[in-house]
Amino acid sequence: MKHTAFSALVALSMTASASAWADTVGLGTMSQGTLSFSTGSVIARVINDKAGLETRVQPNTGETVLIPLVDQGELDFGIANVLEGGDAFNGEFAFKGSPQKNLRIASVLYPLRVALFVRADSDIQSIDDLAGKRVTHGFSAMGSLDRVLGAVLANGGLADGEFKKVLVPNVVKGAEQFLNGRADAFFFAVGAAKVAEVDASVKIRVLPLGDNAAAVDRMHEVFPSSYLAKVPPLPNFAGVTEPTFVLAYDNLLLTATHVPDETVKKVVAGLAAYKKDLIAGFPLFRGLDPDKLVKPDMPLPFHSGSMDWAKNR
């Protein structure tokens, strides 16, 4: 009798602990001011309010820091792009020799659109005008970003060594170096809060990419999964004064095998059902497609909960 009662008590305790864990999840992002932080904060708020799943945002210095935390089970979700996710899972580039095999995609979110920005009154009008100029580079806490920037530069015909590198750990520090006059151009996501902050202090202008076949081929040689996107002049797109081609690639919500299927399904279903709420919190969610939260030909697998949601929705 005592043994049975004790067993029941242990089982009840374990169930309660599992239930408490499943109802509170950690979501890793980059630091405040980044697109990653804005994205994660809005997801957390909507999932909290609409899906009843307590989600806590935990900022980090970069994806090369937060991705291993997701893989190791210290975080349940994380915001990262398709290039970083693929590198991490396959143990390549910044993750060379350290594959993150527990990593999974929970959901495709929206296209990331990135560009180089210069002062609005600068005589730099195109990518190739950056020859000999100071450009933020390095991004030691954001392992794959140099290749993304490399694809932007390649589109404009600018090779490595033809510009001066201003080494920074992440894009936020790069923007600050630009503000401090230590860089002539800085690299960031279009529509990020930090870009608007810079624009409020020093008026800026985005450098356009070329859409001709040769420019696109050069871009794809560096970053095959990238594509061009034409961004319109909108209030939240600081530095964009006319329709402009920039580089785009998929932003992801990552998770790992330790997260239960039901938790992942609840999050993905929330993203699909509450797109309007997501847009109200962060306009870039206009690019979220509820029919393509799970899609083929990705460099790492989707979580089984995401696959189950897509199959039965």
pLDDT digits (tens, 9 = 90+) for 197-245: 999 999 999 999 999 999 999 999 999 889 999 999 999 899 999 999 9
Of 143, 35, 125, give the one whose Cα is nearest residue 84: 143
Please determine, for residue 109, whether its predicted confidence score (pLDDT) is greater than 80.
Answer: yes
140 and 257 housed in the same domain: no
Would 46 be classed as within a structural domain? yes
With a pLDDT cut of 90, the percent of the chain lying above it is 83
The angle subtended at Cα 234 by Cα 145 and Cα 222, nearest 5°, is 25
pLDDT band at 144 (very low <50, low <70, confident <90, very high): confident
For residue 44, the enclosing domain spans 25-111+250-312
96 and 146 housed in the same domain: no
pLDDT band at 143 (very low <50, low <70, confident <90, very high): low
Which region holds residue 132: left if phi is over 0, alpha if psi is between -120 and 50, else beta?
Answer: left
Q: Considering 233, 249, 265, which residue would you say is the last residue of a domain?
A: 249
**Whole-angstrom Cα distance, residue 170 to residue 165?**
13
Q: Which are the contacts of 308, defined by CB distance < 8 A and separation ≥ 6?
A: 261, 265
125 and 244 housed in the same domain: yes
User: Tell me, what DSSP letter sits at residue 298?
Assistant: -
pLDDT band at 77 (very low <50, low <70, confident <90, very high): very high
User: 256 and 103 in contact (C-beta within 8 Å)?
Assistant: yes
276 and 164 housed in the same domain: no
Would 13 be classed as within a structural domain? no
Would 8 be classed as within a structural domain? no
**Whole-angstrom Cα distance, residue 299 to residue 266?**
24
Which residues of the chain form beta strands (DSSP E)?
Answer: 24-29, 54-59, 77-81, 103-119, 134-138, 164-168, 186-189, 204-206, 227-231, 244-256
Q: Considering 194, 224, 249, which residue would you say is the last residue of a domain?
A: 249
188 and 244 housed in the same domain: yes
Count of domains observed in the chain = 2
What's the CATH code of the domain at 29?
3.40.190.10
- pTM for the model stands at 0.78
